[in-house]
Amino acid sequence: MIRSLGTLGVTSVFTLGVLTGMALGVRAPDDLLWFTLLGLIFVTGFSIGLDFSEIPSAVRNNVWNLVIPLATVAGSLTGGLMVHFLTGFSLRYSLAISAGMGWYSFTGTYLSGVNPYAGFLGYVANVLREVYTYLTYPILARRWRYSSVSIGGATTMDTTLPLITSAGGTEVGVTAFIHGVLLTSLIPILIPLVVSLPD
Amino acid sequence: MPHLEVVIILGLGVLLGVAVVSSFKDGTLPIRLKSFSGRLALLLTYVLVYIVGLRVAEVLPEILSRGSQALLITMALSAIPTLASLVLTYLLIRG
């Protein structure tokens, strides 16, 4: 419930930002956006570093801990490619938004610095991925408790971890945490790389 | 590579976290720092989401003018990559 309120909370703050921007015509300076984003990346890296020593042994104990994140990345990018072919939307933004894998604060912010429309799509699409995880993991975990971790993307290291652990069990919780950590480390590298592609 | 500073900052954060854990073996300080960094990350997330909201307000007429197209792309970009991840993972690990 508390975690669900987290999603509701960020949506409220997002709406407040839109309303403030419309009413007052306030424009966020590029530097503020950029340095706050770098601050978030540093803090996220620091959190990963605090748990870093547990990753090699967890991967050695269960090879799925490495296979699932790789499959999530490949699946997400394949999905982005499919959206490009189905809708004709820009290839690099389709790939970049799908490469966000649920990390809406990074994807939305990074893309809004490049193209505000893509930033909006990146934010909403990745918030929805978190929402889908809340709605579907408890059902999917009855049959596919490990492979269903992939739907949570990067959120499986924090916001959706309690849900996955309670629905899938402690062993799946460890897999989900490693999955989230690896994806969170990869996303800040992957999105800038994809955005730099020619359209 | 564009925005190399993103990778450097992420790497510095990870290195600092690893250094803190290896310097304080008793574990009390890392646990406190983990709690603090979690709250700080949440605060920064709220600030960034607010800024994204401000940015979106600038292009709101464009989003509204695209209406159903924007909605379709948003739904497609959230559902299809999620589903493709699930299917590919299931095909690989069958569990």
Instruction: Convert the pLDDT of each residue in A122-138 to its tens digit.
Output: 999 998 898 899 889 98
Residue at A48 is within a domain: yes
% of chain A with per-residue pLDDT over 70: 96
Number of helices (H), then strands (E), belonging to chain A: the values are 9, 0
Distance CA A52, CA B14 (A): 8
Residue at A72 is within a domain: yes
Amino acid at B78: S
User: Could B46 and A9 be called an inter-chain contact, meaning their C-beta atoms sit closer than 8 Å?
Assistant: yes
What are A78-129's pLDDT values in tens digits?
Answer: 999 999 999 999 999 999 999 999 998 899 989 988 888 899 999 999 988 9
Residue at A95 is within a domain: yes
What are A159-190's pLDDT values in tens digits?
Answer: 888 888 888 888 888 889 889 989 998 999 99
- Domain count along chain A: 1
Residue listed under structure tokens 């300080």: B29
Closest A-chain CA to B40: A43
pLDDT of res. A73: 97
Closest A-chain CA to B37: A43
Residue at A8 is within a domain: no
Residue at A58 is within a domain: yes
Residues from chain A contacting residue B93 (CB–CB below 8 Å): 64, 67-68, 71, 146-147
Cβ count within 10 A of residue A128: 19
Instruction: Look up the domain containing A133 and give its range.
Output: 30-195
Distance CA A113, CA B56 (A): 11
Q: What ipTM was estimated for this complex?
A: 0.84
